[in-house]
């Protein structure tokens, strides 16, 4: 078995040793409940408040605008469900989101639709960008809440969030963004983005799993999500997960210190990877925009073969990546993101997401470029779809496109 090269940082990242070290004392020595009045409790409370300041600093927010959650999924759900409570009448409201959001947002919106709310899903173009004119039209139709992700987790498209927020705010509509994939890779400044609400998750930038944040702009009315104790200003009940919160704070601090270097490293490695792949494989495409994309996220579409098959063979060579497909209830559906971008299902099945991290090296990228073309050739040699396309049939999902 070859040395493992982890190219799946959009799924999760390892916990930074300095983050783990910062968390450690809060499991045993300093285990107090931050809501307790004694000194151990006070220690916990101080740790939580320090972390709140660390998070606020990377978002250019105020500490009192930071609410700890169990991760990106909870933050997205909370944003939507608080939006529901801000509607004048129960069961009546209009929500706008995009067709390419993470399922944390899409499924929360589906639930709202089931509860009687109108939900509109904005189209995206071939690069995954929303149409600002469509947004303007939808916002003017009496919309209450808009959510548009800052950076897409499959193809890396970065949306023009400041322009999107401007449209929403000038119409008095709440704007939320899912910045889960953006944090730690590109600057995320709530003032510049102009959002009311924003979600992040620690495990995407070298922090622990199961901890995240919902930022809520001062003055925005955030409704309680978890009911119970009076933690988090009485809007998110539940004993604080102190070690995880401390880890999140430390991960934020480190990501701010390393942002410029990490970004440059990821951009360089990503370009090397894409240039190497495109130079050695025919009929391969980079999905998403050529620029204004997440650094280090190389999302490929390889014609005539299946992403799952590529993953399997890459795994045998020590490369851990992901496909754009979502495996739902045992059936392999093509990526909803690629479908929304106008790819045919057969073509979308050939997607492969390579998401690089700060520990990846040029040597690993070069080994990938060496190993990948024979894998593609092998799979294509067994693919009737590829053979048909090469014979000039040019059918659905064929090498010549036609999607
Ligand atoms: N939003 C986006 C864009 C994501 O990529 C993810 C995780 O993959 C989530 C939300 C969910 O975050 P978490 O895993 O912290 O619940």
For every one of its 403 residues, what pLDDT tens digit does the chain have, with 9 covering 90 and above? Answer: 568 999 999 999 999 999 999 999 999 999 999 999 999 999 999 999 999 999 999 999 999 999 999 999 999 999 999 988 888 677 788 999 999 999 999 999 999 999 899 999 999 999 999 999 999 999 988 899 999 999 999 999 999 999 999 999 999 999 999 999 999 999 999 999 999 999 999 999 999 999 999 999 999 999 999 999 999 999 999 999 999 999 999 999 999 999 999 999 999 999 999 999 999 999 999 999 999 999 999 999 999 999 999 999 999 999 999 986 544 444 578 999 999 999 999 999 999 999 999 999 999 999 999 999 999 999 999 998 888 888 875 443 443 333 3
State CA 371 to chain mean position distance: 28
Give the residue whose CA is nearest to atom 10 of ligand 1: 72
What topology does CATH give the domain 17-255? Answer: 3.40.640
Instruction: Tell me, in angstroms, the distance from the centre of ligand 1 to residue 140's CA.
Output: 30
Enter the tokens of residue 231: 């933690």
Give the residue whose CA is nearest to atom 8 of ligand 1: 11
At residue 104, the pLDDT reads 97
d(CA 391, CA 350): 19
Q: Would the CB of 317 count as within 6 Å of ligand 1?
A: no
At residue 391, the pLDDT reads 81
What topology does CATH give the domain 5-11+259-390? Answer: 3.90.1150
Give the Cβ contact number of residue 333 at 10 Å: 14
Beta-ladder partners of 352: 300
Residues 59, 337, 367: CA angle, nearest 5 degrees: 80
d(CA 344, CA 333): 12
Q: Would the CB of 337 count as within 6 Å of ligand 1?
A: no
User: 210: Cβ–Cβ under 8 A, 6 or more apart, which residues?
Assistant: 70, 71, 203, 241, 244
At residue 89, the pLDDT reads 73
Q: Would the CB of 72 count as within 6 Å of ligand 1?
A: yes
State CA 40 to chain mean position distance: 36
CA-closest candidate to residue 144, choices 74, 72, 81, 65: 81
Instruction: Tell me, in angstroms, the distance from the centre of ligand 1 to residue 126's CA.
Output: 23
CA-closest candidate to residue 210, choices 201, 200, 199: 201
Indicate the burial class of 141 (C-beta count within 10 angstroms; 0-12, 13-18, 19 or more).
exposed
Instruction: Tell me, in angstroms, the distance from the centre of ligand 1 to residue 367's CA.
Output: 29
State which of 11, 107, 181, 188 you would mutate to test the pocket of ligand 1, scoring each by most atoms of that ligand within 8 A of its C-beta. 181
From 85, 87, 252, 327, the catalytic residue? 327
At residue 365, the pLDDT reads 98
Instruction: Tell me, in angstroms, the distance from the centre of ligand 1 to residue 213's CA.
Output: 12
Indicate the burial class of 373 (C-beta count within 10 angstroms; 0-12, 13-18, 19 or more).
middle
Q: Would the CB of 104 count as within 6 Å of ligand 1?
A: yes
Sorted by where each begins, the domain ranges of the chain are 5-11+259-390, 17-255
At residue 322, the pLDDT reads 95
d(CA 68, CA 48): 9
Sign of the dihedral defined by the CA atoms of residues 129, 134, 140, 146, in that order: negative
Q: Evaluate whether 24 touches 223 at the Cβ level (below 8 Å).
A: no
At residue 1, the pLDDT reads 54
Q: Would the CB of 149 count as within 6 Å of ligand 1?
A: yes
d(CA 79, CA 86): 11
- Annotated active-site residue 327? The verdict is yes
Enter the tokens of residue 138: 């939808």
At residue 50, the pLDDT reads 98
Give the residue whose CA is nearest to atom 12 of ligand 1: 72
């Amino acid at each position: 078995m070859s040395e493992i090269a982890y190219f799946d940082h959009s799924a999760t990242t390892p916990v930074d040793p300095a983050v783990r070290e910062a968390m450690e004392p809060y499991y045993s020595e300093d285990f107090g409940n931050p809501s307790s009045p004694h000194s151990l409790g006070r220690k916990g409370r101080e740790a939580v408040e320090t972390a709140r300041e660390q998070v606020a600093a990377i978002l250019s927010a105020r500490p009192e605008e930071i609410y700890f959650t169990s991760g990106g999924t909870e933050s997205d759900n909370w944003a939507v469900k608080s939006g529901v409570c801000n509607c004048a009448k129960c069961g009546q409201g209009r929500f706008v989101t995009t067709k390419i959001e993470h399922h944390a947002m899409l499924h929360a919106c589906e639930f709202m639709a089931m509860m009687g709310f109108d939900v509109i899903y904005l189209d995206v173009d071939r690069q995954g960008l929303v149409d600002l004119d469509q947004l303007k039209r939808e916002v003017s139709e009496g919309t209450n809440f808009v959510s548009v992700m800052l950076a897409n987790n499959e193809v890396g498209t970065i949306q023009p969030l400041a322009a999107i927020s401007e449209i929403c705010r000038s119409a008095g509509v709440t704007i939320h963004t899912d910045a889960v994939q953006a944090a730690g890779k590109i600057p995320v400044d709530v003032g510049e983005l102009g959002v009311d609400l924003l979600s992040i998750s620690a495990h995407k930038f070298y922090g622990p799993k199961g901890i995240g944040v919902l930022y809520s702009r001062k003055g925005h009315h955030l409704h309680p999500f978890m009911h119970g104790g009076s933690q988090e200003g009485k809007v998110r009940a539940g004993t604080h997960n102190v070690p995880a919160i401390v880890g999140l704070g430390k991960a934020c601090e480190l990501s701010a210190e390393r942002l410029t270097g990490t970004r440059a490293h990821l951009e360089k490695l990503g370009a090397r990877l894409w240039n190497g792949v495109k130079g050695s494989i025919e009929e391969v495409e980079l999905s998403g925009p050529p620029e204004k994309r997440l650094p280090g996220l190389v999302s490929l579409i390889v014609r005539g073969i299946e992403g799952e098959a590529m993953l399997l063979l890459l795994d045998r060579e020590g490369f851990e990546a992901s496909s754009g497909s979502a495996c739902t209830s045992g059936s392999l559906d093509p990526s909803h993101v690629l479908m929304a971008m106008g790819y045919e299902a057969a073509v979308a099945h050939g997607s492969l997401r390579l998401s690089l991290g700060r520990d990846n090296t040029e040597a690993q990228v070069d080994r990938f470029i060496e190993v990948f073309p024979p894998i593609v050739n092998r799979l294509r040699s067994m693919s009737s779809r590829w053979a048909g396309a090469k014979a000039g049939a040019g059918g659905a999902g064929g090498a010549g496109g036609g999607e």
